[in-house]
């Protein structure tokens, strides 16, 4: 009989742990769509003030697929049509920037919006761990047009050596469906936050990398 009650106690404890975990996860993503919308709207306000003041701290970049409808425009009509970039470090502004068809080498760290459990935002992907060291960490290589729309839009304005914090609305990221291919599931309607350093880029057909 004692063994039975011990076994029952273990089951109840396990169910309690699972229940608490599910409750925590539910709370973590409660009102997720609205919270992400409010978050990117708040970033838009800060970025727009900075761009209007021409202080060089922020850049507002239009979805590259819509540039024919107003290249370089900062008159933000729809928050979801833009990425908002906080300039953390400036590279060599005399160099050119990548084209849509170019290859790039980057260091990056991607997070979701801040939550109670993750006040800095949960990290879902990264190319380095700890403090970035260009002499040790190997950058990731890919095509400018081979990533999410928000990345493709921002990269075409970055110079080698630039380090930006890029805020990407869900419509220019993984949309309504999200992404579950990585170790951390990205829920639908998620605003993504990426710290990105453009290490180098290479034109199509060229063997030379333009570095900082």
Residue 70 has pLDDT above 80, yes or no: no
Mean pLDDT within 113-123 = 97
Number of structural domains found in the chain: 1
Domain presence at residue 66: yes
Domain presence at residue 13: no
Residue 126 belongs to what domain range?
30-211
Out of 3-7, 75-79, 172-176, pick the least confident. Answer: 3-7
Q: What is the pLDDT of residue 88?
A: 98
Q: What is the pLDDT of residue 86?
A: 99
Identify whether the C-beta of residue 170 lies closer than 8 Å to the C-beta of residue 189: yes
Domain presence at residue 163: yes
Residue 17 has pLDDT above 90, yes or no: no
Residue 84 has pLDDT above 70, yes or no: yes
Residue 40 has pLDDT above 80, yes or no: yes
d(CA 179, CA 190): 10
Mean pLDDT within 121-137 = 91
Mean pLDDT within 40-61 = 97
Q: What is the pLDDT of residue 77?
A: 59
Domain presence at residue 8: no
Domain presence at residue 22: no
Token pair 């169910």: residue: 15
d(CA 97, CA 37): 30
Domain presence at residue 180: yes
Residue 21 has pLDDT above 50, yes or no: no
The CATH number covering residue 193 comes to 3.10.50.40
Mean pLDDT within 68-90 = 76
Q: Which residues contact 210 (CB under 8 A, 6 or more apart)?
A: 95, 96, 160, 200, 201, 202
Domain presence at residue 176: yes
Domain presence at residue 11: no
């Amino acid at each position: 009989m004692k063994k039975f009650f011990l076994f029952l106690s273990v089951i109840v404890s396990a169910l309690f742990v699972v229940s608490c975990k599910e409750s925590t996860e539910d709370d973590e993503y409660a009102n997720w769509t609205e919270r992400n919308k409010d978050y990117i709207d708040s970033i838009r306000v800060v970025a727009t003030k900075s761009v209007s003041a021409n202080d060089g701290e922020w850049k507002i970049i239009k979805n590259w697929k819509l540039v024919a409808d107003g290249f370089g425009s900062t008159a933000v009509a729809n928050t979801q049509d833009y990425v908002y970039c906080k300039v953390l470090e400036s590279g060599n502004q005399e160099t050119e920037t990548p084209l849509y068809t170019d290859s790039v080498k980057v260091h990056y760290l991607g997070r979701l919006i801040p939550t109670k459990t993750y006040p800095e935002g949960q990290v879902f992907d990264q190319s380095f761990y700890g403090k970035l060291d260009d002499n040790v960490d190997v950058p990731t290589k890919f095509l400018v047009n081979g990533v999410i729309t928000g990345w493709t839009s921002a990269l075409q304005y970055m110079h080698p050596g630039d380090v930006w914090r890029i805020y990407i609305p869900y419509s220019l990221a993984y949309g309504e469906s999200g992404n579950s291919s990585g170790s951390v599931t990205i829920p639908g309607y998620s605003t993504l936050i990426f710290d990105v350093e453009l290490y180098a880029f290479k034109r199509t057909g060229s063997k030379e990398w333009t570095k900082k």
